[in-house]
């Protein structure tokens, strides 16, 4: 059964295709401490300021089910946008 790590492989590829350097912490950081957990991804703008939280779930999980969790992370980090993905379905 595919895991969240498998979904992250797909998400990483989508971020690269969108022009993000996922190895550059000024653009994308992972496992960012937030609220009562860690945001899977934190996207940053061109000034390295927080822009969006991405919450990743494994393929079998509806990513929309993580809406409240991701919203709490976004509020905690002062981020205006939330994205939810399981590598197959994506919500903004």
- Sheet (strand 28-34) strand order: 28-34, 37-44, 50-56, 81-85, 90-91
Q: What is the pLDDT of residue 2?
A: 81
Q: How confident is the model at residue 34 (pLDDT cuts 50, 70, 90)?
A: very high
Domain boundaries, position 67: 4-91
Instruction: Report the CATH number at residue 34.
Output: 3.90.1570.30
Mean pLDDT of 75-82: 97
How many structural domains is the chain composed of?
1
pLDDT value at position 1? 75
**Alpha carbons 61 and 23: distance in angstroms, whole number:** 26
What is the arithmetic mean of pLDDT over 16-39? 95
Output the pLDDT for position 58.
Answer: 95
Tens digit of each residue's pLDDT (9 = 90 or more) over 41-63: 999 999 999 999 999 999 999 99
């Amino acid at each position: 059964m595919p895991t969240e790590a498998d979904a992250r492989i797909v998400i990483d590829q989508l971020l690269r295709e969108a022009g993000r350097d996922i190895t550059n912490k000024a653009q994308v950081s992972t496992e960012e401490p937030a609220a009562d957990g860690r945001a899977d991804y934190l996207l940053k703008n061109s000034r390295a300021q927080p822009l969006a939280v991405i919450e990743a779930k494994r393929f079998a999980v509806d990513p929309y089910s993580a809406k409240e969790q991701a919203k709490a992370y976004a509020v905690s980090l002062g981020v205006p946008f939330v994205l939810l993905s399981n590598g197959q379905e994506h919500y903004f």
